[in-house]
Amino acid sequence: MARRALDLGAFLRARGHTVALALLQDAVLAAAGHSATPAAAALGTFVAQGVAIYVAAEDLSMRGFSPANLVPGAVAVDDRHLVDLMLAEGTKALGCF
């Protein structure tokens, strides 16, 4: 699941769009310190490019991880913050399932 979101984010960035990623449900595992995975490597590239990476804190906790386990640059946020981010003026939320 996270791979589709990462591919879409890369596609949009390559076309000059501002991108921020919100990882939900099992996609949070891509940011949970598994540095050997392709998804974690892609997240590192996004962070280096200044892309904001938001991780659903509750989904992270439900999978046995804490914010301390996140790859550098990823930020755990609560559901309310995620909703605020997705509904912010000028923002278009795209989902990948």
Structure confidence by residue, pLDDT tens digits, 63-73: 999 999 998 89
**Would 96 be classed as within a structural domain?**
no
pTM of the shown model: 0.87
- Is 17 inside any structural domain? yes
Residue 12: the pLDDT is: 93
Which range of residues forms the domain containing residue 46? Answer: 2-86
Residue 47 falls inside a structural domain: yes
Domain CATH for 61: 3.40.1260.10
Q: What single-letter DSSP state applies at residue 87?
A: T
d(CA 7, CA 83): 22
In a domain, 80, yes or no: yes
Mean pLDDT in consecutive groups of 10 residues from the start of the chain, 97 residues: 82 93 91 77 88 96 95 94 93 81
